[in-house]
Amino acid sequence: MLSFSLRDASGQLLFAAGQPLPDTPQVRDLIARGPFVQAHETREYQRALAHKLDTMMLQGAPIAALAKAQTDFHADLRPERPARTGPVSETAAWSDLQSQTQQLLRDPERADFLVRLSQLLDRVLARLHPQPDPSLALLIHDAGQEPLDYSARHALLTLVMAEMTARQLGWGEARRRVLTLAALTMNLSISRDQDQWALRTSVLATSEREALAGHGDQSAALLQAMGVDDDAWLAAVRLHHDAGPGPLSGRSDGELMARLLRRIDVYGARISPRRSRRPLSAAQAARAVYLDEHQAPDEAGAALIKAIGLYPPGSLVRLASGEEAMVLKRGHSANEPTVAALVGRSGSPLTSPVIRDTRLPANAISASLAPHEMRLRVNMDALQKLY
């Protein structure tokens, strides 16, 4: 377990304190490049601060002086955070939003939780609406990587897919907001547990299975205790694992939202890895939600696939030409998106991504690929420049 957080050169959180550091190519690359640690989190800092405060106490310093000394000590040792020049990249912006989501969900006891929740939602929607395809590409790609910070990654992806599905259904802004608030908070009572479970290879204990089974009720109870009194929001959270199949019409708003969240939840879980299993391809995840629990066409699942596509931005595909590509934009048809070829027909990476139109027979999609099936580390910053 890490006793301190690891950050990149700009100060963005990479691995939080208390998390195990997995032995993966990505982590080895990070260590080789040199991660950053905030000074106040190191043992050396804690020892030096304790020595200074002990000395002052022995000299009879007042409490106010001790408090000021602690603040000054931290300011003296804190490393300078490089100032950003120019606009923030989409990759960095969504990484920041994921860190904010993680911090929010891990501390639901804070008195200002609902205020912070609403502010986070506003920031996410402001980033999503002008450019939904680039945003979804980053989130879909990120979901298929390491199973770290699962609860934050999953909540953010669920929020975005819920917003896009509700827009596809023609919902108004107020109704969409309730749905997206429910998407962010539906797993509130087990957020910390989810992060640990995703890193486990063993099965859940009986007590953990009980917590998982009852987390809808528990999350709704937490929200109600905070002062949430929106019936649809609470019902969507409470029932998001229990809203059964069938038509969407005839349901209360809360039950309808719960059914949408259930199918979105399943989709996001299918494309996300656990330590115990690999992620599925986008097409496999689509099949899991397009058919309901009785293997009949599912209206909620169909709405999701219509909104994000059979091959959503960020997913990986093989073309009829033999090239392997990442989807960049949704097309007019769910199975004809715009893609960027990354690996040539010989199996070697291309020098730079090449845009392909999948409406052309030579570039038609022949298979959907799971993240581990493309043996190439995708440079998302480079792909973002193609939009």
Which whole number is the average pLDDT over 284-303? 92
Same domain? 64 vs 52: yes
pTM of the model: 0.77
**Alpha carbon distance, N-terminus to C-terminus of the chain:** 39
Residues whose CB falls within 8 Å of the CB of residue 232, separated by 6 or more in sequence, listed in order: 178, 182, 252, 253, 254, 257
CA distances (Å), 281 to each of 120, 139, 149, 157, 370, in order?
29, 14, 21, 16, 4
Same domain? 260 vs 150: yes
Same domain? 289 vs 355: no
Same domain? 298 vs 346: no
Same domain? 69 vs 203: no
Give 60 or 374, the one with higher predicted confidence. Answer: 374
For 354-377, how does the pLDDT look when each residue is reduced to its tens digit (9 = 90+)?
999 999 999 999 999 999 999 888
Q: Identity (one letter) of the amino acid at 163?
A: E
Looking from the CA of 385 toward its CB, the CA atoms found within 13 Å total: 6
In a domain, residue 108? The reply is: yes
For 31-58, the three-class secondary structure string (H helix, E strand, C coil) is HHHCCECCHHHCHHHHHHHHHHHHHHHH
* CATH code where residue 199 lies: 1.10.3210.10
Same domain? 114 vs 232: yes
Q: What is the DSSP letter of 277?
A: B
Q: How confident is the model at residue 80 (pLDDT cuts 50, 70, 90)?
A: very low
| Residue tagged 């490089």 (tokens) | 82
In a domain, residue 272? The reply is: yes
Report whether pLDDT(81) > 50: no
Same domain? 281 vs 351: no
Same domain? 248 vs 132: yes
Same domain? 358 vs 214: no
Burial tier of 310 (Cβ tally within 10 Å: 0-12, 13-18, 19+) = buried
In a domain, residue 84? The reply is: no
Which whole number is the average pLDDT over 222-246? 93
In a domain, residue 83? The reply is: no
User: Which among 129, 125, 133 has a CA at the least distance from the CA of 313?
Assistant: 133
In a domain, residue 45? The reply is: yes
Report whether pLDDT(240) > 70: yes
Last residue of a domain, one of 256, 282, 308: 308
Same domain? 277 vs 371: no
For 116-160, how does the pLDDT look when each residue is reduced to its tens digit (9 = 90+)?
999 999 999 999 999 999 999 999 999 999 888 999 999 999 999
Same domain? 132 vs 224: yes
> Containing domain of residue 325, as a range?
316-384
In a domain, residue 1? The reply is: no
Last residue of a domain, one of 308, 333, 368: 308
Distance (Å, rounded) from C-alpha 283 to C-alpha 139?
16
Please give the tally of structural domains in the chain.
4
Residue 78, pLDDT score: 41
Contact 161, 307 (CB under 8 A): yes
User: Which among 321, 385, 317 has a CA at the least distance from the CA of 353?
Assistant: 385
For 182-204, how does the pLDDT look when each residue is reduced to its tens digit (9 = 90+)?
999 999 998 888 888 899 888 88
Same domain? 142 vs 201: yes
**Burial profile 327-363: b = 16 or more Cβ within 10 angstroms, e = fewer:** bbbbbeebebbbbbbbbeeeeeebeebeebebeeeeb
Residue 193, pLDDT score: 87
CA distances (Å), 218 to each of 116, 147, 156, 211, 213, in order?
20, 24, 20, 9, 10
Last residue of a domain, one of 77, 105, 139: 77
User: Which among 365, 141, 160, 124 has a CA at the least distance from the CA of 271?
Assistant: 141
Give 89 or 162, the one with higher predicted confidence. Answer: 162
Q: What integer best gives the mean pLDDT of the chain? A: 85
